[in-house]
Amino acid sequence: MKLVKILPGKIQIRTDDAEFKNARLNDLISVSDGEVELVTMITAITDNDVETQIDENAIMEELQQPSLKVIECSILGSVVDGSFKQQIDRYPSTDVKIQKISEHEFGVMLTVDSVLKNSGHFQIGKYAGYDADAYLDGNKFYQRHSCIVGNTGCGKSETVTKIVEETAKLPSANVVIFDIHGEYSKLSYVDSIKMGEVPFPIWMLGFADMAANVLKVKEDSTVVMSALRKAYYMQCPGGNEGKPIYYSFAEFSHYVRHLNDEMVETGEFYKTGDKAGQAKTVKGEYNGKLTGVFNTIATIFNDNRYSFLFENVSENYLERFFNRIMGGDKPVKNIDLSGIPHDIAVLIIGAITKLIYNIQIMQKNARPITLVCDEAHVYIPTDFQLTAAQRRMVEIFENIAKEGRKFGITLFVASQRPSELNKTIMAQCANYIVMKLNNENDKGMIKGMMPAGSADVIETTTMFSPGDCLVVGDACPIPLKIHVELAKERPQSKTIQFWNEWSKERDSVDYAACLEEYLEK
């Protein structure tokens, strides 16, 4: 066996059948010159038998020789003082000893023992190729941002639940989940805040975002915005358009209607006719110009799906709401957004995130908090064709990605479309949990974030089963396939067995009742 090529992230080995006959893809290979030891993973095996024009005796002699193979490996890291490290300080010479890493050597290399279990690590599952438990470093996982990606049905929700369940065992854990589909609301260690049943008064969105995203008023509509500001400051004289300051939306909308219908006296009077003695009037500044806005307000008021935005709550409701989110008795707070319209769900995520971030900044010795962003590509997109209001929300997450670590706030984002995720946030992640990925754009996005040796490993995810993942980053000692252990409590996420369901006798369904319920909401 001979090392024939070495690159920063790859090596190439030439060997024969007899010397390395059991080599398989994904096997770990040690490459050492006595001073430096690299840990590599087989990513390609090529049989290099060469046919030459020689006589019959030479052909028979050649057939008796072992077949040559070329093995290509990605460099995962190095062994320093007996333990695996992902960094590489030096490379070996070409005069090396090359051998497969046994299960015993693998266990020793990762120091998977009682020391690991008692030093801030938690078990996520088992390594698929070795009989060894897989641990993540809790400090390194949470103190910088993390990301989990994979196709629908690959086990993302199960993996998130396993990680959150382990985290919830800590007495002062502080995690907030933005739960788009209501998958985590039934977990016993979770305080589930179901939007729609729990009020979220519209003033908590802040005036600017309410006008732009709920009333759909463009910021360059100067006349309409001027009228809305007038109505806002009539209700909230000391207001701040970017902050959630209490005002009565009912009174606000009443004043908007007044401005739209307003007639202003000129100071003159009719001298003759039916109107003799009456004051002359002209249309007010905003008369007839706010009809569209008022119709939008009326439509939202009459839609039961938005009724939780208009519940009559006191001024101190914001304080109670955020005491529940950032404090409370349970370690995990789940913002269940599954029962409200999508457009409002996205706004609520932005409003809550903005407040958490700003409150966290203002605290001294703040209790760390992590935001778990389910389906993050929906509200933290990479698309630059965003409105100014949408851009403001994305910037909150970007600020957390760039500065949040200093203030004890980090992100754990989950998405089935990493290529659609905001690139600034992706670039700031220190840990990537990569599950089954088929889309080339998604794989390309993840590869671009990986160290040189780990990028090729991403290709193996195409063949993953549900529950299999790679963890690449600071928190995981080595980027190898892990089969995630199921949490004791499972999320409400399931894959419907279409064929089995269609094989059953058909049940009768009252579609009229379903339609009536839909129309009433």
pLDDT, one tens digit per residue, over 396-409 is 999 999 999 889 99
Lowest mean pLDDT among 111-125, 271-285, 432-446, 476-490: 111-125
Q: What's the pLDDT band for 113 if we cut at 50, 70, 90?
A: very low
Q: What pLDDT, on a 0 to 100 scale, did the predictor assign at position 48?
A: 66
Which tens digits make up the pLDDT trace of 252-306? Answer: 999 999 999 988 888 888 788 887 878 888 888 889 899 999 899 999 988 888 9
Q: What pLDDT, on a 0 to 100 scale, did the predictor assign at position 409?
A: 94
Give the DSSP H or E segment for 134: strand 133-137
Residue 258 one-letter amino acid: H
What distance in Å separates the CA atoms of residue 76 and residue 452, rounded to the nearest whole number? 9
The pLDDT of 320-346, averaged and rounded, is 91
What is the β-pairing status of strands 28-32 and 37-47?
A: antiparallel
Say if residue 359's pLDDT is above 50.
yes
Q: What's the pLDDT band for 52 if we cut at 50, 70, 90?
A: very low
Place of tokens 């992902």: 86
Beta carbons of 313 and 279 less than 8 angstroms apart: no
Q: How many CB atoms lie within 10 A of CB 51?
A: 7
The pLDDT of 13-23, averaged and rounded, is 73
As beta bridge partners, residue 409 has: 369
Q: SS3 of 84, please?
A: strand
DSSP assigned state of 137 = E
* Residue 71 tokens, joined: 């093995």
More confident site: 4 or 142: 142
Long-range CB contacts (< 8 A, 24+ apart) of 302-308?
303/521, 304/520, 304/521, 305/196, 305/340, 305/341, 305/521, 306/341, 306/344, 308/195, 308/196, 308/197, 308/198, 308/199, 308/200, 308/340
What distance in Å separates the CA atoms of residue 27 and residue 33, rounded to the nearest whole number? 20
Q: What pLDDT, on a 0 to 100 scale, did the predictor assign at position 142?
A: 94
Beta carbons of 272 and 252 less than 8 angstroms apart: no
Closest CA to 383 of 327, 423, 411: 423
What is the β-pairing status of strands 97-100 and 121-127?
A: unpaired
Q: What's the pLDDT band for 58 if we cut at 50, 70, 90?
A: low
Residue 208 one-letter amino acid: A
DSSP assigned state of 198 = B
Say if residue 382's pLDDT is above 50.
yes
The pLDDT of 446-465, averaged and rounded, is 77
The pLDDT of 435-445, averaged and rounded, is 86
Q: What pLDDT, on a 0 to 100 scale, did the predictor assign at position 112?
A: 44
The mean pLDDT value of the chain amounts to: 85
Q: What pLDDT, on a 0 to 100 scale, did the predictor assign at position 194?
A: 95
Q: What pLDDT, on a 0 to 100 scale, did the predictor assign at position 188?
A: 94
Q: What's the pLDDT band for 231 if we cut at 50, 70, 90?
A: very high
What distance in Å separates the CA atoms of residue 436 and residue 444, rounded to the nearest whole number? 14
Q: What pLDDT, on a 0 to 100 scale, did the predictor assign at position 124?
A: 94
Give the DSSP H or E segment for 85: strand 83-85
* Residue 357 tokens, joined: 């971030």
The pLDDT of 499-505, averaged and rounded, is 82
The pLDDT of 219-225, averaged and rounded, is 86
What distance in Å separates the CA atoms of residue 284 and residue 423, rounded to the nearest whole number? 48
Say if residue 63's pLDDT is above 80.
no
Q: What's the pLDDT band for 126 if we cut at 50, 70, 90?
A: very high
What distance in Å separates the CA atoms of residue 471 and residue 476, rounded to the nearest whole number? 6
Closest CA to 205 of 254, 256, 249, 258: 249
The CA–CA distances, whole Å, from 303 to 369, 501, 520 equal 35, 35, 8
The pLDDT of 437-465, averaged and rounded, is 79
DSSP assigned state of 210 = I
Per-residue burial over 406-435, b = 16 or more CB atoms within 10 Å of its CB, e = otherwise:
ebbbbbbbbbbbbbbbbebbbebbbbbbbb
Closest CA to 200 of 352, 60, 82: 352
The pLDDT of 96-111, averaged and rounded, is 83
Q: Taking the model in full, what pTM does it have?
A: 0.85
What distance in Å separates the CA atoms of residue 206 and residue 218, rounded to the nearest whole number? 16
Q: HSE of 251 in the Cβ direction (CA atoms, 13 Å)?
A: 11
The full length of the chain comes to 521
Say if residue 55's pLDDT is above 60.
no
